[in-house]
A = this chain, B = another copy of it.
C-alpha cells in the first residue's frame, strides 16, 4: 500500500474523529471495505448533509438544522425555566437523563480569556435579551464543575441577578452510587461544607 492510496487516505481521514487513533482508523477502514460498503456510503451521505445543513438555533444556540430547534418551538415545554449549559452534548445529557422539561440556552463553551473566549463568544447578549422578554422566572446554571465552568456560572448568575430573576446552580457533591473512599478530596470537602439538613 503506497502512502497515497485511497485506503491510506481513508485511514488518515478517520483520524479527524475524537478518540480514533491509527489502529482504530485502520480497523474502521478495513471493516467498511470488507463488510459494509453500503454503511460506508450511507455514512458519507449523512456527513455531507449534516456538515452543510446543520446550523445553530436562533433562540438557544444549540445545533439544529432548522432556524428554531424542536425544543424551543415546542409549546409544551415550560418557558419559565431556562437551563444554561456549555454545549449541545450537555444539553442532550440533561434532556435524556433527567426529568427537566423547561427550555435551554447553549453558551457554546465557557469563559476562557486566554483563548479569547469572552461574553460575546458565549452569546451573553442573546441570553440577556431572552431574560428581558419577561417569560423566564428561573435560570438554572448547569455549566461544568471545572474552574472555568464555575467562573462562567458566577458571571451568568450576576447577569441574571441584575434582571431580578431567580438563579440556581445544579447541586454539586458526591455522585450517586459511589463509594466515599474513591471520591476526590475537593468534591468531598465541598460536600461536607454544603451539607443539607435532613429534617
Using CB atoms and an 8 Å cutoff, list the residues of chain A in contact with chain B: 1-2, 5-7, 9-10, 12-14, 16-19, 24, 26-34, 36-37, 39-54, 63-65, 69-71, 87-89, 92, 95, 108
**Chain B residue contacts of A12, Cβ below 8 A:** 46
Q: Tell whether, in the assembled complex, residue A47 and residue B43 are in contact, meaning their CB atoms are under 8 Å apart.
A: yes
Q: Tell whether, in the assembled complex, residue A51 and residue B46 are in contact, meaning their CB atoms are under 8 Å apart.
A: no
What are the 5 closest A-B residue pairs judged by CB atoms, nearest first?
A16-B39, A13-B46, A44-B47, A10-B50, A44-B44
Q: A31-B17, A32-B17, A92-B26 are in contact. Are A50 and B1 (CB under 8 A)?
A: no
**Chain B residue contacts of A70, Cβ below 8 A:** 1-2, 5
Q: Tell whether, in the assembled complex, residue B87 and residue A30 are in contact, meaning their CB atoms are under 8 Å apart.
A: yes
**Chain B residue contacts of A27, Cβ below 8 A:** 18-19, 89
Q: Tell whether, in the assembled complex, residue A6 and residue B46 are in contact, meaning their CB atoms are under 8 Å apart.
A: yes
Of the residues B19, B39, B40, B50, contact of A7 by C-beta under 8 Å: B50
**Chain B residue contacts of A54, Cβ below 8 A:** 6-7, 33
Residue from A18, A24, A29, A51 having most chain B Cβ neighbours under 10 A: A51
A93 closest partner in B (C-beta): B26
**Chain B residue contacts of A69, Cβ below 8 A:** 1
A30 closest partner in B (C-beta): B89
Closest Cβ of chain B to A70, distance in Å, is: 5
Q: A27-B89, A36-B16, A42-B16 are in contact. Are A9 and B49 (CB under 8 A)?
A: yes
**Chain B residue contacts of A36, Cβ below 8 A:** 16
**Chain B residue contacts of A63, Cβ below 8 A:** 7, 30, 33-34
30 contacts between A and B (CB under 8 A): A1-B69, A1-B71, A1-B95, A2-B70, A5-B64, A6-B46, A6-B65, A7-B63, A7-B65, A9-B49, A10-B47, A10-B50, A13-B39, A13-B42, A13-B46, A13-B47, A16-B36, A16-B39, A17-B31, A18-B27, A19-B28, A33-B51, A33-B63, A34-B63, A34-B88, A34-B108, A40-B50, A41-B47, A44-B51, A47-B47
